[in-house]
Amino acid sequence: MKFSELTEYFEEMEATSSRLALIDILSELFIKTPEGEIDKIVYLIQGRLAPFFVPLEIGMAEKSVAKSIASAYQVSTEEVTGGFNKLGDMGLAAQQQAQKSKPKVESLTVDEVFIILEEIAKTSGEGTVEKRQNLLSNLLKRMDPLSAKHLVRIPLGNTRLGIGDPTVLDAMSLAKLGDKSKRKPLEEAYNRTSDMGLIAKTLWEKGLSGVEKLEVRVGSPIRSELCERLPSPDKIIEKMGEVDAQYKYDGFRVQIHKTQDEVRMFSRNLEEMTHMFPELSEATKKQIKAKSVILDSEALAYNPESDEFLPFQETTKRRRKHGIEEMAEKLPLKAFVFDILYLDGKSLINNPLRERMETLKRVLPEDDVLIRTKNQTIKDPKILATLLEDAISKGLEGLVVKKLESPYEAGARNFNWVKLKRHSAGELNDTLDCVILGYITGKGKRTAFGAGALLVGVYDKKSDEFVTVSKIGTGLTDEEWREIHKRADKISLDHKPARVNSNIVPSVWIKPEIVIEILADEITRSPVHTAGRTETGTGYALRFPRLVSFRGLDKKAEDATTVEELIEMYRQQGR
């Protein structure tokens, strides 16, 4: 396929504000895509050159990309930067310069462009910045204006397509299986492998049966299983019967992969974190005797002097690119291991939890830096209530309660796992993770920040859409307002994103990427907001919302609170 043809599809996808139209456009593109290029095109749609867990990032700064554009079209960097400042998008700035200079266009294939992008990403050592600029500049010289627009967004990590994983899977299913309702086996394979390009390539080459045979592999993260909510110990035992109860820690979800002496670690977002946590790597080599293993854990910062675990805000300081060794000494981590998913060449995810916990005891017999999470089998709600109070008294969030016979359902959120936190009558004491969808221009003092209120939403997993739940204007410092404005402008759009369902039109739409933690007094019914909207036009909204923290480091937008959770919290409040 020609790269110019691909960018025509990108242009069409960027312009649509309908998710159903997005699926149709993607499906048409996939039907035309040969099997030798399907994985590359899927990665480019994700704004990547490889799966999320492969640290192959181009990562060029705006200044470097501006210099590449200037060099390609023989203009000054200042002219390119001026265009960028005016248009708010480096892609449009490149397109503008290409239209002026009328470069000699070559008919480049997707493969040819992909190879050069990979070369840019893999360039290292002395003169890296200049080498990357030259490679990108030489590529731009051979492109038509529309291709240039979409090309320069890739190294900036800002493709502006706004396409979620379920939408890509729907389009694959429609293109290759004739019906998007056949997405489930593709999704299950993706949850096991976290590699959308691999799913596409296997489906194109070996059909659905080949996809269904894809198994868990060490080095490829498994998408995390997630928790539902229930309001009380009584309701949990009534619904789940005999359960396994574990303390709930508020830290980083870290999936640990070990094969021989190599250890790799991945976040809940599928990013590789190995280099950030050297003490966990060393502890895994020392404490785990198995040849190959995958462990699910929660890592927390620990104060060895006071023998206490620190809050999430302290733990987040360990996510960094520089000064890692120094911070590891200052804020060492311990990881509470609560599940084992793979052992010595065999996947364990289909084994019942009861068996996996017994296996974990053998693989991790003693506590040190890695600590096996204490668990207890319970069938009496009174004992569960006592354990919850014990967790709260230790400064923990609460409990995670699990069905003893349940498999590990990668990527699922259901009632096999339930989180139990303290609730008070008449109040909503639990927080929600919401996604910023846009902002309303500030008035008075807030004019200086460019944003006066944020339009926020939650995730509707069934429709793969973000639906509104509130406008929020309190709980942010002046500095946080400035930071939001700065981050939002990089992902702002001139139209409603295709995966956003909103009755409210903000001053500026932004791509649904920034996750914030919100506390509100209660959840109410609303004729304005679209979260959980019924046929009568009534949805759900937050009353007196305020910001608690930014959670974008450890959560993707699709990991935000779901509509189902929101409705369950509405039912629970006041009990």
Check if 248 is active-site. Answer: yes
Tell me if 466 sits within 8 A of 458, measured CB to CB.
Answer: yes
Among candidates 178, 356, 179, 193, which has minimal Cα distance to 266? Answer: 193
DSSP state of 3: H
364 alpha carbon, distance to own chain's centre: 29
Residues contacting 3, CB < 8 A, separation 6+: 108, 109, 110, 112, 113, 143, 147, 151
As given in the structure block, the two tokens for residue 458 are 């939650």
Q: Write out the H or E segment, with its range, that includes residue 479.
A: helix 478-490
Between CA 273 and CA 263 the distance in angstroms is 11
Among candidates 422, 381, 434, which has minimal Cα distance to 560? Answer: 434
Q: Write out the H or E segment, with its range, that includes residue 213.
A: none
DSSP state of 117: H
DSSP state of 428: -
Radius of gyration of the chain from Cα atoms? 24
Among candidates 431, 465, 401, 348, which has minimal Cα distance to 227? Answer: 401
Strands, E assignment, 206-318: 226-229, 243-248, 252-259, 262-267, 292-303, 308-309
Tell me if 284 sits within 8 A of 224, measured CB to CB.
Answer: no
Strands, E assignment, 354-499: 370-372, 375-378, 398-403, 413-421, 432-440, 453-460, 465-472, 492-493
Tell me if 513 sits within 8 A of 163, measured CB to CB.
Answer: no
As given in the structure block, the two tokens for residue 559 are 């990991």
Which is catalytic among the residues 40, 201, 248, 403? 248
501-513 b/e (C-beta count within 10 Å ≥ 16 → b):
bbeeebebbbbbe
128 alpha carbon, distance to own chain's centre: 29
3-state secondary structure 123-136: CCCCCHHHHHHHHH
Q: Write out the H or E segment, with its range, that includes residue 389.
A: helix 381-393
Among candidates 570, 230, 223, which has minimal Cα distance to 399? Answer: 230
Between CA 369 and CA 78 the distance in angstroms is 52
Active-site residue set: 248
